[in-house]
Amino acid sequence: MSNLQVSIYRYNPETDSAPYMQEFQVDTKGRDVMVLDVLHMMKEQDSGLAFRRSCREGVCGSDGMNMNGKNGLACITPLSEVVKGNKLTLRPLPGLPVIRDMVVDMGLFYKQYERIQPYLQNDTPVPAIERLQSPEERDKLDGLYECILCACCSTSCPSFWWNPDKFVGPAGLLQSYRFLADSRDTATSERLTDLEDPFSVFRCRGIMNCVAVCPKGLNPTRAIGKIREMLLADAT
């Protein structure tokens, strides 16, 4: 098997006036390794190549990137899943400012996450043991709490590209619903009031790019639909 042809986005603010694509030849010895392994092989050729990584098993959310046009986590994406015609094109997550190479500035993404007050609010007195929650109530959090904040969804969403400062984006809204759906949270109406403007939730046009790319198989579009239902029920 011939070497894998990798084309990767490069930009070092100290030396490059503009970003460019660089070609690498990577010998994977015919094995179906993960894209992250390929990045490590490339870093051995050029130690200056910058990318984030941590857990290498798809739970920390560090290595979200755009692989042959689709966002995903490099560490759990095998070559067989993305490579076409022995070619792999790697770009940073779209729509966020690039710091260096594959490393993007996630500031706006985190800001939207913080905006939805991503923590349980409960104004009732704290019991001596845990607050009780039935398995059925707990089931409502499945498919919501598992988000790893990798930003694959929000950076594949055109509404987030155009208004990252005003539209919360799929990741933030998924977390918003995670707390709206939690039987232990008592701040439901404050949370809803904060979302009823024309941008925060309503800029979602339901194109479901977020669902298509989520590496954890979560469904932000459905959560957004549920938030709309709650807003409607609350306001009418």
Residue (40 or 211) nearer to other proteins, CB: 40
CB 97 within 8 A of CB 15: no
Buried b / exposed e along 97-129 (16+ C-beta atoms within 10 A): ebbbbbbbebebbeebbebbbeeeeeeeeeeee
Q: Which of residues 130-169 bind other proteins (CB under 8 A)?
A: 130-135, 137-138, 141, 145-146, 148-149, 159, 162-163, 166
169-180 vs 220-235: helix axis angle to the nearest 10?
60
* Contact region with other proteins (CB under 8 A), list: 2-10, 19-27, 82-90, 94-102: 94-102
- State in angstroms the smallest separation of the CB of 189 from other proteins: 13
Task: Identify residues 1-60 at the interface with other proteins (CB under 8 A).
Answer: 12-15, 43-44, 47-48, 50-60
Note the residue count of the chain: 236
Cβ proximity to other proteins: between 2 and 188 the closer is 188
Q: Which two tokens stand for residue 68?
A: 């042959």
Residue pair 109/169 in contact (Cβ under 8 Å)? The answer is yes
- 3-class secondary structure, 181: coil
Scanning residues 165 to 224, which ones bind other proteins (CB under 8 A)? 166, 179, 182, 184-185, 193-203
CA–CA distances in Å: residue 56 to residues 77, 92, 140, 146, 175:
11, 17, 29, 17, 23
Q: Measured from the CB of residue 52, what is the shortest distance to other proteins in angstroms?
A: 7
**Which one of the spans 22-30, 85-93, 121-129, 218-226 is the region binding other proteins (CB under 8 A)?**
121-129
Q: Which is nearer to other proteins, 23 or 136 (CB)?
A: 136
Nearer to other proteins, 2 or 47 (CB): 47
